[in-house]
Amino acid sequence: MKSNFKIALLGGTGHLGIGLAVRFAILGHDVIVGSRKLEKAKMKANEYNQILEKLGEKPTIKGLANEDAAKQADISVFTIPWEHAFATAEFLKQALKDKIVISPLVPMEKRGKTFYYSKLPEGSAAEKLATILDSKVISAYQTIPAEKFARLNEKFEWDVAVCGDNDEAKKIVIELTNQIDGLKAYDAGPLAVSSMVESLTPLLINIMLRNKLKDLGVRFV
């Protein structure tokens, strides 16, 4: 029997946020869009609910300030630009205590026409998040082409590498991901290997830019 979760998309106002929010809501999960500003969260929740209604679904998504969203959720996803994520994590530390936190964060920089992975002293963005939060941090979703993912009528077949040190939390994230049509999640090991997954994102971007391609994802074959 499928479990239903309360899922917060912290900073969930971008492409990945909309893609996850609407899909999780369709699957019957309680979805909360979080933002630093309550007004923006409510505006985006209303926008996503309109999408649900057009798809013939109940408008169940609500918008809250990030702190309230984190407090209410069982699982929170950091759909925040990586440069701002760690300060947000410090602010939400108590609200996220002992909960599952998903990190799709990718630290990278552009030099000239090329994107480079910025390896952090902690090893990866997910590992740095884990040093800040007393939470079950799981690394996932870095290689999902967010713009295509936000288009609900698109078909895709992408694999998702999931890293984490808490086996139960990792299993939940894998099962949750596998509920989304077109995604297949795989256990990629402990959080210490998440830098390998994060570094795939700038590689994919560089391939797309240099070869005039769009929406490249990852498949394990």
Counting residues of the chain whose pLDDT is more than 70, the rounded percentage is 99
Report pTM. Answer: 0.96
Give 158-198 pLDDT, tens digit per residue.
999 999 999 999 999 999 999 999 999 999 999 999 999 99
d(CA 177, CA 186): 10
CB atoms near residue 91 (< 10 Å):
14
Quote the percentage of the chain above a pLDDT of 90: 95
What torsion do the CA atoms of 23, 27, 28, 34 make, to the nearest 10 degrees?
Answer: -20
Confidence of residue 10 (pLDDT cuts 50, 70, 90): very high
**Domains within the chain, CATH numbers bracketed:** 6-211 (3.40.50.720)
* pLDDT averaged over every residue in the chain: 95
pLDDT over 70 (residue 153): yes
pLDDT digits (tens, 9 = 90+) for 103-120: 999 999 999 999 999 999
